[in-house]
Chains A and B, each alone.
Chain A
Amino acid sequence: MSGTAPGDFASPRGPAPGSQAPGGGVPLRLAERAVGAPFSLRARREVLYCLVSVPLGLAGCVVIAWILAPSLAVAGSVVGTVVGLLGIVLVLSIARRLGGLYRRVAAWLLDEQIAAPQPFRRPAGSIIVRLDARLRDAAAWRAIGYTLLRLPLAFGQYLALAFWACGLADLSYPLWWPLFRNPSPGAGLSPVSAATPPPFGSFVHATSWGGSLLVAIFGAVLLLIAPWLTRGVVTADRWLARSLLGPGTLSQRVRDLEQARARLVDDSVALLRQVERDLHDGAQVRLAAMAMNLGMAKEKLGADGQPPDVQRARELVDAAHLGAKEALVELRELVRGIHPPVLEVGLAEALATLAAGSAIPVRVTADLPQRPTPAIETIAYFCAAELLANATKHSGANQIDISAEIIDSERTSVLRLGVCDDGLGGADPARGSGLAGLERRVGSVDGRLSVSSPPGGPTQITVELPMKA
């Protein structure tokens, strides 16, 4: 069935360098790794990363420094405060975007998957409150830190690239020497220097073809050093990116959790109020009316003997009977909305029931060898219900696929729920409040919701939840 879950396209990964070294002594393997390093896939990727990274890092650094420095300078003065603060806010939002760009580059070239920090949530309230929230956006400040640290990194990357370039150039000396350096015998030629990475002065020179061979050996040495230098610089970059562009430090995490908890409490209070209102306006009213009708009917029937008004009593009992049946229907709906009873049996069963009630044909595939905790099952169920309702209402789809599976990775297992329809597409969490609400609910247990819905469809929405809240 729907084989379009994003995770299905697991990217093929090249083997780590040296991982397939054949048998032999340890020193032999080490030597093989050292010699093989320049030719490994990893080295090529890292060189490519440096090539992309140097200009990108410099540009980001320049942009940030260029706005940040004057903003900070101006913000201190009385007059310039507003301008300075606006400048800082601008830098912060640029830094967040740059952070995203750097994360994507790292994911693309280094296969370094860094989770994005919590998106910035604009709080409701006055401009001061919003400004304050912006200025306290730790993820953005960390992104600024990373962007500025790219400057020394860019130097390191540049150096690594220089080792590669000079090494290759030096290696070529013996090839072109006979073409250009073919003087008549006896003519004195000034020595030619080997290409040397910039901070080092050139110290290898050649005056003859034999000398050029020496240069070539020097180049080979540079090339042997280059991959390890590159790896060092890139590893430092990886570490910085992970710690500065990721979801954040412990304290940041605590703050995010506090926010999530506050939202959760708000949501549950709102839900309770909704239930209270539904009961108050619905079943309670019906029961009151029913009791009243029965009370009146009792009166009409009299205490004993011949009832004074049988006809009227019958009508009243009829009305009470009808009211009781309506109250039952209403309560059943309400109960289902709070917690669908079938969920006790399992998520797969609940999804199948959900599908059975849909106006558009739904295919369900569920592969759930373990059961997530009840809270997670409930969230998954309500996500599916909401997404199904959305698809039915907005997409104009002819077919909906729901999948639920457990994805095991080394460290943890996640429940992945996919809802895919062949409708019009164009679903956007930023616009529809329903999707944003779901995102919040999923986020409250550290889950993720991703939407792929190009105009014209199809829409694929994936919800990933931990196995326990």
Chain B
Amino acid sequence: MMRVVIAEDAALLREGLTRLLEERGHEVCAAVSDGDALLAAVAEHKPDVAVVDIRMPPTHTDEGLRAALRLRQDHRDTGVLVFSQYIETRYAARLLAGNAAGVGYLLKDRVADVADFVAALTRVADGGTALDPEVVSQLFRASRHADGLATLTRRERDVLALMAEGRSNAGISAALVISGGAVEKHVASIFGKLGLPPSEGDNRRVLAVLRYLGG
């Protein structure tokens, strides 16, 4: 069970999310509609994870992102899932900023696939990473390492993308319907081809992959 704080200014979505999470047995400690209320609610409830909309009152620009960055600084034990109508790669870069632990950035669309969404939220609550496939595909497209990426097989690219999203080996094997051993082999091959140092732990791995793609 996760303890969750939700910050979302659209009432329909706020209540929908609350219901969705409660039906799955999680506890929604607070559901608020702006950045200040979010900071207050997190300080009060110390939840496992906060779901934060980027555009909220009063300016409807990026106060959600700014609140999320504050949370990342002040409440390291609370995971932050930024939840937005659109994806800006730069926002992702600012959120990660050298630390991929307990952070997520997903399109609101993803809530349509309830199981995937809750899995991503759980990952973030547990100190993992959840990046939207859209962010990852933008990173692939804009990457300076097109040559390096071209050496990968199709399957390896899929695995790399899932790693960048922040999935564990188990998550990757479930998503691609392949065995855990096959995933490990692919991962080793990718790290070899791209010349990345083998890294311990999922968070380190995400950072290494993202740094490679973004560099």
B177 at the interface (CB under 8 A from A): no
- B90, A349: Cβ atoms under 8 Å? yes
- B89, A353: Cβ atoms under 8 Å? yes
Interface residues of B in 78-130 (CB under 8 A from A): 85-86, 88-90, 107-109, 112-113
- A345, B112: Cβ atoms under 8 Å? no
Contact of B90 among A329, A335, A352, A361 (CB under 8 A): A352
Comparing B55-63, B163-171, B180-188, B203-211, the segment that makes contact with chain A is: B55-63
- B142, A341: Cβ atoms under 8 Å? no
B76 at the interface (CB under 8 A from A): no
- A353, B109: Cβ atoms under 8 Å? no
A335 to B89, CA, bound (A): 17
- A361, B61: Cβ atoms under 8 Å? no
Interface residues of B in 22-67 (CB under 8 A from A): 55, 59-62
B138 at the interface (CB under 8 A from A): yes
A303 to B70, CA, bound (A): 49
Comparing A320-328, A410-418, A439-447, the segment that makes contact with chain B is: A320-328
B141 at the interface (CB under 8 A from A): yes
A345 to B86, CA, bound (A): 14
- A357, B109: Cβ atoms under 8 Å? no
A349 to B91, CA, bound (A): 9
Number of B residues with CB within 8 Å of any CB on chain A = 19
A280 at the interface (CB under 8 A from B): no
Main secondary structure of the interface of A (DSSP, over half): helix
Q: Chain A residue with minimal CB distance to B135?
A: A356
Given known contacts A356-B90, A357-B138, A341 and B109 CB-to-CB distance under 8 angstroms: no
A353 to B90, CA, bound (A): 6
Interface residues of A in 323-352 (CB under 8 A from B): 324-325, 328-329, 332, 335-336, 341-342, 344-345, 349, 352
Given known contacts A335-B85, A356-B142, A358-B142, A328 and B109 CB-to-CB distance under 8 angstroms: yes
Residues of A within 8 A of B113 (CB): 325
- A335, B86: Cβ atoms under 8 Å? yes
Residues of A within 8 A of B62 (CB): 344-345
- B112, A328: Cβ atoms under 8 Å? yes
Nearest Cβ on chain A to B16's Cβ, whole angstroms: 12
- A345, B61: Cβ atoms under 8 Å? yes
A355 at the interface (CB under 8 A from B): yes
B144 at the interface (CB under 8 A from A): yes
A349 to B90, CA, bound (A): 8
- A329, B109: Cβ atoms under 8 Å? yes
Given known contacts A325-B109, A356-B138, A341 and B55 CB-to-CB distance under 8 angstroms: yes
Q: Chain A residue with minimal CB distance to B93?
A: A356
A328 to B138, CA, bound (A): 19
Per-residue contact bits, chain A 303-332, to B (CB 8 Å; 1 contact, 0 not): 000000000000000000100110011001
Residues of B within 8 A of A344 (CB): 59-62
A336 to B87, CA, bound (A): 10
- Residues on B close to A: CB < 8 A? 55, 59-62, 85-86, 88-90, 107-109, 112-113, 138, 141-142, 144
What would be 21 A-B contacts, judged by CB atoms less than 8 Å apart?
A321-B112, A325-B109, A325-B112, A328-B109, A328-B112, A332-B86, A336-B86, A341-B55, A341-B88, A344-B59, A345-B61, A349-B90, A353-B88, A356-B90, A356-B138, A356-B142, A357-B89, A357-B138, A357-B141, A359-B141, A361-B142
8 nearest A-B residue pairs (beta carbon): A344-B61, A356-B89, A328-B109, A325-B112, A353-B88, A356-B142, A342-B88, A345-B62
Given contacts A328-B112, A344-B62, A356-B138, 17 further A-B contacts (CB under 8 A): A325-B112, A325-B113, A328-B109, A329-B109, A335-B85, A341-B61, A341-B85, A342-B88, A344-B60, A352-B90, A353-B90, A356-B89, A357-B138, A357-B141, A358-B142, A359-B141, A361-B144
